[in-house]
Amino acid sequence: MEEPRIDQKSPYVMDLQPGTYFWCACGRSANQPFCDGSHKGTGFTPEKVEITQSKKVAFCGCKHSGNKPFCDGAHSKL
């Protein structure tokens, strides 16, 4: 399987409202950190995220987290 593209070497920290979100796992989306369908034709699929209450989240920007879709600091080792 190919490696995901590193979009940025820091997390996307944002306040989210309750809802369903799809995190981009391939790094190709123009709508980072969310999926825009750019993964089509690759071996990647987006990660579905259910947010049940308003909260701040840190989505992985480097696409190498061991805790996908959330940042675990893996970007500091790239």
Assigned domain for 7 exists: no
Asked if pLDDT for residue 2 goes beyond 90, the answer is: no
Instruction: Provide the residue range defining the domain that includes 16.
Output: 12-77
Q: Assess if residue 19 is contained within a domain.
A: yes
Cβ contact 12:59 at 8 Å = yes
Position 36 in a domain:
yes
Type of residue at 74 = A
Q: Is residue 5 part of a domain?
A: no
pLDDT tops 80 at residue 1 = no
Does a structural domain hold residue 4?
A: no
Residue at 28 is within a domain: yes
Tell me: pLDDT of 72 over 70. Answer: yes
Q: Could you give the number of structural domains in the chain?
A: 1
Classify residue 44 as exposed, middle or buried by CB count within 10 Å of its CB (0-12, 13-18, 19+): buried
- Whether 2 is in a domain gets the answer no
Helix (H, G, I), strand (E, B) or coil at 77: helix
Establish if 52 belongs to a structural domain: yes
Instruction: Enter the pTM of the model.
Output: 0.93
